[in-house]
Structures are given as structure tokens and as C-alpha cells.
Amino acid sequence: MGDICQSVESTFQLLFNKLRLLTNASEQNCWDVADRLSKEITRICSESRRIQTSGEIESWATKLADHRLQRCIHYYKLGSLRGRVELHSNLSAVVYRYITPPQTQSSYQARLTLIEDFLQSFYMEALNAFRRESQLPSTYQPTTLLQLAEWMAFTERYGKRRIPLPGHRNQQLIILRAQTFSQQQPIETPVDIERAAEGVSGDSDNQWNAASIQQVREQMVAQEPEPTEDSLRETVINELIAYLEERNQKDCVDYFVLRLKDLPANEIEAILRLTPRERDYLQQRFKYHLIRFALSHQWELVHQWLEIDLNNNLGLTPERWQIFFFQLDSQQSQILELKKQGEPDAAIAQSLNSTVSQVRKQWFKILEKAWEIRNDGNL
């Protein structure tokens, strides 16, 4: 018992001192995180038969502490937004092959949407597990950057836990969850965006890359925005809600508000009293309006918020900007140049002997092309 107590104390001191040295968090914040991590490590060392029989408990405790510290500091240095994006990307890559849409909707975009829904549910499960294992109240939420980094590192470990299976096999917990989620998906064909848009004529506007939607989603559901982006984020949210209400899309507003709370699909269905198919229909309709809002109605606001406005070459690297520019036709190139000069749509239409409606439609296509190139992982 004395050896274990000594090991707990030395592990705690190691973690506490390193957190104080490597972060700007308060002493109390570092103390709390170090205390939770050291207790988790002690529990693992006590319950692991391999560690107990190795005779090197303190050495194992130090290794586990170093690993947890490295991952926590990694997410801390990334920051609130980039840390969440990396965690989401890493977990998406793990579950991608295990989440297969029904045959009737087996497209790349459909799979990305399912992965998004699955991970939102998994994040809630991981948070509940973190509260339970750390003996925290059910209302606990990470509020500081260090606490958020601690939770993201925990979520990463939680997903990779090996679960024993029959036949002396084992599998990562997140993969088992993904397989179960995929098997529970309805086989009905989802309503397409043209129908979801309630009669709006179809064109290439509805082909917006799913990775682009994910980027907007990630920004909108961020639980702890950076101080510099907080007010702009609230403006975007309020403008989108107003946009939906003006178009009598009250159910889309309800859905959006619940997504902002980071609720998984099954909880949204229960609150709104929807079947999975009805929720899918509503999600597709919301997606349509989100696209129109982001690329047409309030494109300047959204692009400024994402730091991909015209002053930043629409977020494209010099190489991708060249690819993008060469894909524009002569009229689109003129529109782009006049937009960069700050000309209003009416003046642009007059210069091109066109109509304001036609200019806006072309601008939509220009922005859509930029989104696709920016999110093309093969370039």
C-alpha cells in the first residue's frame, strides 16, 4: 500500500509541475487536471494484471503519465478550434470504413453526413464517461482551454480502448460503436435537396461539397469560441436564424438550435418527436438553406467569419488560387475582379450588360468552385 501511495504522489507531482511549466492555466486548474489524471493512472496500474506482475508499477505510471501529458499539451497548444477540428478529423478517419450508408444513399456525401451524426453522439458518450470516471457532476462541462484539452485527449483514448470479444479477439470501442450505428440506419431513400427545398429549381448549386458544410458546422457548434471570434459567431448564428424565420422554416430553426447544443441525432429526434426518416428530411432541408445562406444571402459575413474572404483569396493557397482562377470563364473572371474592387452587384450587372440576378447566380458558382478547390484533399 505504501508503494502505491508513493507512486500516486510522485505521478501527481510530475503532472502538476509539467502542467504549470507548459501552460498558462491557473494553479488550481493545473491541480485539478493533474489530480484527475493521476487517479486514472493509479486505477489502471491497480487493475492491470500485466502491470501488477511486472514489478515495475512506478515505471508504468511514469510512462502513462508522460503519454497523457503529451496528448493533453498537444491539444492545449492547438487551441479550442484547431484542437476540435483535429480530433474530429482523426476520429473520422478511424470510423470511415465502418460507417456505410444504406445502398440507396451510398455516396461519399451521405457517408460524411452519417459520420458527422455518429461523432456528435460519440462525443456526448465520451463526455458522460469522462464525468463518470472522474467522479464529476453530471452537469460538468470543460470551460478552460486546459480542461478542454484534457477532455479531447480523454475522448481520443476512450475511442481507442480495446474491448474484448468472443474468440480471444478485441476491437476498439469507437469502431464497435460505429458498426452498431451503421446497422441502425434506415434503408429508406432520403428526400433529395430539390424536394427538400420545396420546389426551388435544381441546378449545380446544390452540389456543395460536404466537407464545406462540415467546416461551417464545426464553427457553429463550437462550445467555447475564441474571444476574438465570439461576437462574429453570434452574429452569424442570429443572421442564419433570422434568414430561416423569414422563409417560414421554423422547424429548421428548432433543428439548428439543438445542433448548437451538440445533441446527437437520436436526442434531436426525441425532442422534436421525429422518426429517423423525418429527421433526415429536416436535416437535408436545413442543409439546403445553410448552403444558400453561406454562398449567397450572407456570403460576406460567413467568409469573414471563416477568414476566407476576398482579402484572403477566398482562403486558397497561391497554388490553389491559380487552379481556381484558370477554371473561371471570362465573365466569371470579370465578376471576381469587380467584386475585389468592392463594386455592388447593380454596377457589375451594368458593366457586363447583364442582370443583378444573373450576376448573383454566377457569383454563387464562383464561391462554390472556391469551396470545392479549398476542400479537395487531392490537390
Outline where DSSP puts E strands in the chain.
Answer: 162-165, 169-172
pLDDT > 50? residue 229: no
- What pLDDT, on a 0 to 100 scale, did the predictor assign at position 196? 35
pLDDT > 50? residue 206: no
- What pLDDT, on a 0 to 100 scale, did the predictor assign at position 344? 84
pLDDT band at 274 (very low <50, low <70, confident <90, very high): confident
Residue range 12-17: average pLDDT?
A: 92
Residue range 3-27: average pLDDT?
A: 82
pLDDT > 50? residue 49: yes
| Closest CA relative to residue 116, chosen from 257, 11, 259 | 259
Got the DSSP string for 148-174?
A: HHHHHHHHHHHHH-EEEETTTEEEEHH
How many other C-beta atoms are found inside a 10 Å radius of the C-beta of residue 286?
A: 21
Cell digits of residue 96: 470511415
207 and 283 Cβ atoms separated by less than 8 Å: no
- What pLDDT, on a 0 to 100 scale, did the predictor assign at position 296? 73
Domains of the chain: 2-183 (no CATH), 190-206+224-299 (no CATH), 308-379 (1.10.10)
The position carrying cell 436545413 is 286
Q: Which of 53-57, 93-97, 146-150, 283-287 has the lowest mean pLDDT?
A: 53-57
pLDDT in tens, 112-142: 778 888 998 899 999 999 999 999 998 998 9
- Angle (CA) 156 77 82, round 5°: 65
pLDDT > 50? residue 151: yes
pLDDT band at 199 (very low <50, low <70, confident <90, very high): very low
How many other C-beta atoms are found inside a 10 Å radius of the C-beta of residue 357?
A: 10
Residue range 176-180: average pLDDT?
A: 89
- What pLDDT, on a 0 to 100 scale, did the predictor assign at position 188? 44
Residue range 252-264: average pLDDT?
A: 81
How many other C-beta atoms are found inside a 10 Å radius of the C-beta of residue 189?
A: 12
Rounded-to-integer distance, Cα 264 and Cα 116, Å: 10
pLDDT > 80? residue 70: yes
Residues in a beta bridge with 169: 165
Rounded-to-integer distance, Cα 90 and Cα 26, Å: 29
Rounded-to-integer distance, Cα 149 and Cα 72, Å: 5
Task: Say which residue, 371 or 245, is predicted with more confidence.
Answer: 245
Residues in a beta bridge with 163: 171
101 and 107 Cβ atoms separated by less than 8 Å: yes
pLDDT > 80? residue 233: no
Task: Say which residue, 363 or 313, is predicted with more confidence.
Answer: 363
Nearest 10 degrees: CA dihedral of 128, 130, 135, 139?
A: -50
- What pLDDT, on a 0 to 100 scale, did the predictor assign at position 21? 94
Residue range 32-55: average pLDDT?
A: 86
- What pLDDT, on a 0 to 100 scale, did the predictor assign at position 305? 65
Report the percentage of the chain scoring pLDDT > 90.
20
Cell digits of residue 285: 432541408
The position carrying cell 496528448 is 71
Phi and psi torsions of 139, nearest 5°: -95, 0
Report the percentage of the chain scoring pLDDT > 70.
79
Tell me which range, 153-162, 207-216, 368-377, is most confidently predicted by mean pLDDT.
153-162
Average pLDDT, the chain: 79
Rounded-to-integer distance, Cα 80 and Cα 96, Å: 24
